Structure 1
């Protein structure tokens, strides 16, 4: 058999090298992909056993003030209890407090072009929604409609008197006999003010004017009238917010106390809470603020046993997320033991590369000068 004596393997060595190179790279990358597979398996196993070792509460935001699911171990089996504890007054007060925002939404798309009067049709539609709410609000039963009981009355008296005093040093003016009529009056006055603005200000503008400027003036009106603590839109909005917040706080804290009484102190200390939120509610989350005082460690529980998480929409994804956090914390406790890098860099919200990246991006900054928690940054 003849061979080609002119064939030179050196001219084709790149073919061999390329194949070996790709295989070697794949072998190295597999270290990470296999790690992820094993960690995913661990996460599933942790979730399966999660409530055998600690109770979990998953708090979901709802327009009505929140839905809460307690997941606990009962005789070796997982049990779930779901409650929506907030009185309906919360949703109504919050809904009416949003009336000015609804007006803004009508003209907002046209505010940069005053000659475009496209805002008038949606504004008229929304004005009719406000008017219908106002015309029927007196038909709502206090106890069954608003769900206002004696405990909520006392809570509203305390909080509304406190807030109106902060407005303009107005003395306490509400008691348990007058607070419900006042609550209804606040909501009706806010609706009336919104309708009045639309009818007598916005719709009176000429066809080459936008309501943006007059809307801002309406929102920013001020008054220090001690005898009338709800005489401006701002005061009406704030009082509606207080009504909603007081209602939500009482409902959630009462539920938490009820559940707490069913546990030993040791078991309650092991409680984890997942609050499902959005980016816009991540800070000073209202549900988290109601829950924290009822947890074993109070404010210290935030980010340790109470986690506010975005992009979760149900109970099982929340439990899966918690399993990930717990497995990461366990790994961090073993891997980052006596070193300077905090364990939270592996098991918290800090990117594991973050502190090292800061050294790379800003090498001239000493460790003593780094304070990412305060917002300090490298001036480059």
Structure 2
């Protein structure tokens, strides 16, 4: 069975069409259009300022990554302290108290941030984005200089720094989101015209991302709006991965072939039990329901959000309408 199943899947890959494969990356996503078995085009459609806005917004996380191992393993009296699992913190703060090993890598990162601050005017960013990036970089350099000079730091001091730059991070997030929406929707519109309305109505989209960004993935949210809404729920497929595969397109098509052939197999093999058929077509293991019955358990509630074509000015996640 497994050999025959694998053989069918390998052959089916050649006939998958049309398909858009999305590789999440630092520049807003790499998109490949495949039609009638041919890779038509691969594009990074998002404007460059997306990467600039996000990379600078991540500066506090960059500083944290250097300091994390040297944090005191006690939860301090900071806002939201109850949300920190003491055991998790104990594992993250694995360095011996008093260890100064953070100073050298943090000074190296400070050099990078200083260079970014010097070069920022040459990026020709919009005024608001330039101001927020300047604030983040300036405060980061100031924080690093302060703790390096003191030779010590604590979670309270870091939390205070992070809170100071948070409003500027929100500005960067706004610009990054706008860049990604405009870039992706523009590309989807062009590809839709290229392959025609009939083919586009049957479009499959596979989005590869690491697990931590797989739910409410930004690319998936945007692309869904451009698809045939009657099929988006089944034809937009998020593929969480442990790490970025060496051949993302091959991985995406292999998984899509499995999904497509299972969709048909479910109705042909299990037409006597539609519940089992739905399990084969979805993410459930075929034995999951039987196991739950035997142990007297119930399936956990799904955490994924339902999408529909939003009205103009409506957030596709919350359903709230913007006011001016």
Asked if Structure 1 and Structure 2 have the same fold, meaning a TM-score greater than 0.5 normalized by the shorter chain, the answer is yes
Match of 1:118 in 2: 101
Hey, what's the Cα distance between the residues in 2 that align with 1:111 and 1:373? 36
Hey, what's the Cα distance between the residues in 2 that align with 1:36 and 1:196? 60
Match of 2:55 in 1: 95
Instruction: Note if 1:217 corresponds to 2:163.
Output: no
Hey, what's the Cα distance between the residues in 2 that align with 1:339 and 1:347? 13
Structure 2 SS opposite 1:239: helix
Q: What does 1:32-181 correspond to in 2, within 5 Å?
A: 35-51=1-17, 55-73=18-36, 78-112=38-72, 113-140=96-123, 142=124, 180-181=126-127
Checking the alignment, whether the CA contact within 8 Å between 1:94 and 1:240 is kept in structure 2 is yes
CA 1:50 to 1:91, structure 2 compared with 1: closer, same or farther past 3 Å? Answer: same
Checking the alignment, whether the CA contact within 8 Å between 1:114 and 1:210 is kept in structure 2 is no
Match of 2:145 in 1: 199
* Deviation by residue 1:339-362 (Cα, 9 ceiling, x = unmatched): 252423112211111111101111
Q: Could you tell me the TM-score, scaled by structure 2's length? A: 0.80
Q: What does 1:204-283 correspond to in 2, within 5 Å?
A: 204-205=149-150, 207=151, 209-220=152-163, 232-283=164-215
Structure 1 SS opposite 2:16: helix
* Deviation by residue 1:298-345 (Cα, 9 ceiling, x = unmatched): 7x614x101111334421221121111111111101122242524231
Match of 1:175 in 2: none
Hey, what's the Cα distance between the residues in 1 that align with 2:291 and 2:203? 35
Hey, what's the Cα distance between the residues in 1 that align with 2:25 and 2:162? 28
Instruction: Note if 1:351 corresponds to 2:285.
Output: yes
Hey, what's the Cα distance between the residues in 2 that align with 1:79 and 1:184? 38
Structure 2 SS opposite 1:337: coil
Task: Report which of the two structures shows the higher radius of gyration computed on alpha carbons.
Answer: 1
Q: CA RMSD in A?
A: 1.9
Instruction: Note if 1:372 corresponds to 2:300.
Output: yes
Range moving further from structure 2, 261-270 or 188-197: 261-270
How many residue pairs match? The answer is 276
Match of 1:333 in 2: 267
Q: Gaps spanning 5+ residues in structure 2: where?
A: 73-95, 304-324
Q: Gaps spanning 5+ residues in structure 1: where?
A: 1-34, 147-179, 221-231, 376-380
Instruction: Select the residue among 131, 143, 152 that pairs with 1:185.
Output: 131
Which consecutive segments of 4 or more residues in structure 1 shift more than 6 A? none
* Deviation by residue 1:243-302 (Cα, 9 ceiling, x = unmatched): 11111111001101111123443321110001111111111101111111000117x614
Q: What does 1:284-299 correspond to in 2, within 5 Å?
A: 284-297=216-229
Instruction: Select the residue among 310, 323, 327 that pairs with 2:240.
Output: 310
Checking the alignment, whether the CA contact within 8 Å between 2:13 and 2:254 is kept in structure 1 is yes
Hey, what's the Cα distance between the residues in 1 that align with 2:27 and 2:180? 9
Checking the alignment, whether the CA contact within 8 Å between 1:110 and 1:210 is kept in structure 2 is no
Checking the alignment, whether the CA contact within 8 Å between 1:190 and 1:233 is kept in structure 2 is yes
